[in-house]
Amino acid sequence: MTSLTASLATADQPIGFVDSGIGGLPYLRRARELLPEERFVYLADRRHFPYGVQSRDAIREIVMNAVAELVSVARPKMVVVACNTASVVSLSELRRTFSIPFVGVVPAIKPAGAAAPDGRIGVLATERTVEDPYVSDLIREFAPNSGLVLVPAGELVEIIESRLTLASPKEILDILRQSAAKLIAESVNVVVLGCTHFTHIRDELSELLRHEVPVLDSVEGVARQIVRVCGHAGRAGDAAHAAAGPKTEDLLLVTGREARREPGGAAAGDAVENYRRLAVRFNLKLLAQEPVK
């Protein structure tokens, strides 16, 4: 990866986030609510999107490079790997390589196992995540007697990435209908959103499941973990820090991406507009490495 931009580091070290795209934004929003004095820098590694269809080795290398980029431009005091695919594949190597703390995001199998110990758990995630041994280990440990329905939903990830803010509510529901139908046909008792992109459409999925099945994500748990880690890594709640004056803007950094047609008929240009709107919606200053055509 070439350098995103000149250093954005300031004395006030931010909390860094990384994902292949927009998936981690709901996590950032919740962390920001809990830590209003902190500064946040979010790296959307669109250049390598989607992660979820690539090999473990490829993803590991991509994530190591994305984090190295984030560390070099923003000097975060900790990094949230706001992507299940990246976390299950790369967390241990990231922790071995970098000296800052990491918070990962993994499918919420533990609460799902508690909610349906003898029932059926539907896991909606990328191909890479549903196949990963990390997830089978979580299942063995926390949901050994639950039936499991793994639903790979790569196409859904692509559409959310490029069309979330552009699609009409009906279009979003139509896109989700197939996955919802599968979960209903499999009579699942609880659904786990095992890909951060799906946290954006959680309410719509619940609606299609007629609010009869709990839909779990890891937003709250991860945000609380960020607060805990930040307490060690930084200055959350520190009076001197709070008194330092108005904080600088939180940033959304986007790595470059060549033009291409997105699946589902969406043009790559849609993704650019989607990012513009998301930056406004999440109150982030958008900085792109190179214009995405």
Residues in touch with ligand DGL (CB under 6 A): 19-20, 23, 49-52, 83-85, 126, 129, 157, 195-197
Exactly one of 35, 73, 83, 188 is catalytic; name it: 83
Does residue 230 carry a catalytic annotation? no
Exactly one of 82, 86, 195, 271 is catalytic; name it: 195
Closest residue by Cα to residue 14 from 58, 80, 63, 60: 80
Nearer to ligand DGL, 34 or 53 (CB): 53
CB atoms within 10 A of CB 117: 14
Q: Tell me the closest approach of the beta carbon of residue 21 to ligand DGL, in angstroms.
A: 6
**Strand blocks (E) in the chain:** 15-19, 40-44, 78-81, 102-104, 120-125, 147-152, 190-193, 215-216, 251-254, 285-288
Position of minimal CB gap to ligand DGL = 52
Q: Tell me the closest approach of the beta carbon of residue 90 to ligand DGL, in angstroms.
A: 12
How many residues in total does the chain contain? 293
Nearer to ligand DGL, 194 or 234 (CB): 194
Contact 19, 49 (CB under 8 A): no
DSSP 262: P
Instruction: Identify whether 133 is preceded by a cis peptide bond (ω within 30 of 0).
Output: no
Nearer to ligand DGL, 9 or 58 (CB): 58
Q: Tell me the closest approach of the beta carbon of residue 191 to ligand DGL, in angstroms.
A: 15
Nearer to ligand DGL, 27 or 40 (CB): 27
Q: Tell me the closest approach of the beta carbon of residue 247 to ligand DGL, in angstroms.
A: 27
| Three-state DSSP class for residue 267 | strand
Query: What is the set of active-site residues?
Result: 83, 195
